[in-house]
Amino acid sequence: MIQVPVRDLTGAEVGQAELDERVFGITPHRAVLHQAVVAQLANARKGTHDTKTRGEVAGGGAKPWRQKGTGRARQGSIRAPQWRKGGVVFGPHPRSYRQRLPRKMRRLAMRSALSDKLATASLMVIRDFALEAPRTKVALEALRRLGVSGRTLIVLGGVDPLAKRATNNIPDTRVVSVGGMNLLDVINARYLLLAEEAVRQINTMLTAGLKPVAAGEAVVAEAEEHERP
């Protein structure tokens, strides 16, 4: 287990939290991270784009002029692709961009992102985010005392409408539960604040199915697994 300090909203250290090395102490798997990010971005696409072919454009049913004798190129319809307001050749049509990513790869990508945040000192464990009042000023003061600024992701153990309301007007700051945490938010955040309850849930969720290893061997075992093709 990795021991990290737990802080309250005044910035004072109030205890220690245990982070599972299999979640927060592995060597980030860059290939899986890239694939997971591409899949998440692709799955967010609507795929509703559409262009009309020459058969779908209104009009153009009559032949514009006779086949021979005019001295002009032969034409069959004024809605052919070479005409203004004609159909589009090989244009986009509605489709699904969805990519399926196995659960083991999704979990490995999240563990890689969390491990990178801890390694770069961008992760902080807090007791909770219980504010005195659901006001933007109070939330800003709490973040200032914690020493975080810029794009910040706050992950709580459950839904907290008051904390969400207090941070709604703070640019680049989001409050989510563990179930609402996604890979892109974690990667893009400059600071990641995890509540103690969120840490426990993340440890349980991301270690499901992993083989227990002896102390001091988790990081090495995970790194060897990453080197396999």
Q: List pLDDT tens digits, range 129-168.
A: 989 899 999 999 999 999 999 999 999 999 999 999 999 9
Both 115 and 194 in a single domain?
yes
Both 206 and 184 in a single domain?
yes
Both 155 and 193 in a single domain?
yes
Both 81 and 174 in a single domain?
no
Both 132 and 178 in a single domain?
yes
Predicted confidence band at 224 (pLDDT cuts at 50, 70, 90)? Answer: very low
Domain enclosing residue 63, as ranges: 48-96
Predicted confidence band at 223 (pLDDT cuts at 50, 70, 90)? Answer: very low
Both 65 and 155 in a single domain?
no
What's the rounded mean pLDDT across residues 21-50? 96
**From CA 203, how far away is CA 210, in angstroms rounded?**
11
CA distances from 220 to 39, 104, 108, 225, 226 (A): 28, 19, 15, 9, 10
Both 76 and 182 in a single domain?
no
Both 55 and 104 in a single domain?
no
The confidence score (pLDDT) of residue 213 equals 64
Total domain count, the chain: 2
The confidence score (pLDDT) of residue 217 equals 58
Both 86 and 32 in a single domain?
no
Both 65 and 178 in a single domain?
no
The confidence score (pLDDT) of residue 1 equals 85
Query: Which domain CATH number covers 164?
Result: 3.40.1370.10
What's the rounded mean pLDDT across residues 92-102? 96
Give the rounded distance of the alpha carbon of 100 from its chain centre: 15
Predicted confidence band at 33 (pLDDT cuts at 50, 70, 90)? Answer: very high
Crossing angle of the two packed helices 196-206 and 103-119, in degrees rounded to 10: 140
Both 113 and 178 in a single domain?
yes
For 119, half-sphere exposure in the C-beta direction (CA atoms, 13 angstrom radius) is: 14
Both 25 and 106 in a single domain?
yes
pTM: 0.82
Q: Residue 12: name the closest of 146, 128, 158 by CA.
A: 146
Cα Rg of the chain, angstroms: 27
DSSP string across 49-87 = -----TTTSS---S-SS-SSSSSS---S-TTSTTSTT--
